[in-house]
Amino acid sequence: MNNLKGKTALVTGSAKNLGKAIALDLARQGAKVAIHYNSSQKEANQTLKEIKRLSAGIAIQANLTNPSDVSSMILKIKSDLGPVDILINIVGNFIFEPITKTSFEKFRDVIESNLYSTFLCSQKTLPIMIKKKWGRIINFGNVGAENVVIRKNTTPYFIAKAGVISLTKVLAYEYAKYGITVNSISPGILSTSIVKAKTPSGRFAQFSDIINVVNFFIKDESGYINGANIEVSGGWRTGF
């Protein structure tokens, strides 16, 4: 467990599911946590109640594809909890349908919700981390995102996640000199995943498996691990 007292964390899409689990774990370690949501206000308020039993926190609504929303969110967090030290970029919509049936609106939504949100949150947070000469950004890809993967039913999603991995690596290179690390986690099939498949390990990824890697990246001892992408899939690969 890390000692995160005095640290402020922003976890996007943390009203429920994996985001909530990560946010609660950070709060248990002493971090002040900003719960971000877009439309899940009821769930966000419930998560905030749980956070406040452990540490300080706020719930804040924002459309993360809108630059002004993101700027306002970061300023609000700074005012209420302090400057963001840890940014966990989870937000990103999924799609499962043939590309021949995918509308432009759906295509754009998947690209923007995954890639634009990661870019904007990182862009608005990095200047704060530069001043502190310390920061942790953890982005979310998916298994196979580092390679050119052709999947007829998830084409926009793989395009978006490949972009997230590319962004992760270039930000790691550019900001390492400021004591900032930018890494990514690529989960396999979670118990909450929309599409399921058999896995070689015989089980789906648990939230605890993902949280284990989040905590590894956050540690001070992991400060030289930068630009990495860790797949948490139990050996499962797309296409197998």
- Angstrom distance (rounded) from CA 217 to CA 205: 18
Looking at the chain, the whole-number percentage of residues with pLDDT higher than 90 is 75
Q: How far is CA 147 from the centre of its chain?
A: 20
Residues 12 and 89 sit within 8 Å (Cβ to Cβ):
yes
Q: Tokens in use for 201?
A: 């390990």
Residues 83 and 57 sit within 8 Å (Cβ to Cβ):
no
For the segment 207-230, the average pLDDT, to the nearest whole number, is 97
- DSSP per-residue string spanning 39-62: S-HHHHHHHHHHHHTTS-EEEEE-
pLDDT at 74 over 90: yes
Per-residue model confidence as pLDDT tens digits over 178-197: 999 999 999 988 877 766 77
For the segment 68-79, the average pLDDT, to the nearest whole number, is 98
The answer to whether residue 169 sits within a structural domain is yes
The answer to whether residue 206 sits within a structural domain is yes
Per-residue model confidence as pLDDT tens digits over 97-143: 888 898 999 999 999 999 999 999 999 999 999 999 999 999 999 88
Give pTM, 2 decimals: 0.94
The answer to whether residue 237 sits within a structural domain is no
Looking at the chain, the whole-number percentage of residues with pLDDT higher than 70 is 95
Which pLDDT band holds residue 148 (cuts at 50, 70, 90)? low
pLDDT at 240 over 80: no
- Angstrom distance (rounded) from CA 36 to CA 126: 18
- What's the total number of domains in the chain? 1
The answer to whether residue 94 sits within a structural domain is yes
Residue 40 is predicted with a pLDDT of 92
pLDDT at 176 over 90: yes
Which pLDDT band holds residue 19 (cuts at 50, 70, 90)? very high
One-letter amino acid for residue 218 of the chain:
I
The answer to whether residue 57 sits within a structural domain is yes
Token look-up 């300080």 returns 56
pLDDT at 153 over 70: no
The answer to whether residue 3 sits within a structural domain is no
Closest CA to 182 of 134, 219, 127, 136: 136
The answer to whether residue 60 sits within a structural domain is yes
* Catalytic site positions: 157
> Dihedral through CA 149, CA 201, CA 197, CA 185, nearest 10?
-50
Which pLDDT band holds residue 149 (cuts at 50, 70, 90)? low
Closest CA to 119 of 176, 70, 181: 70
Residue 154 is predicted with a pLDDT of 72
Residues 137 and 125 sit within 8 Å (Cβ to Cβ):
yes
Which CATH number fits the domain that encloses residue 167?
3.40.50.720
Residue 187 is predicted with a pLDDT of 92
The answer to whether residue 217 sits within a structural domain is yes
Domain range for 172 is 8-232
Average pLDDT score, the chain? 92
Lowest mean pLDDT among 88-92, 144-148, 154-158, 207-211: 144-148
**What Cα–Cα distance (Å) separates residue 17 from each residue in 40, 91, 193, 201?**
12, 12, 10, 22
For the segment 52-66, the average pLDDT, to the nearest whole number, is 98
**What Cα–Cα distance (Å) separates residue 186 from each residue in 20, 116, 133, 154, 158?**
18, 18, 27, 15, 12
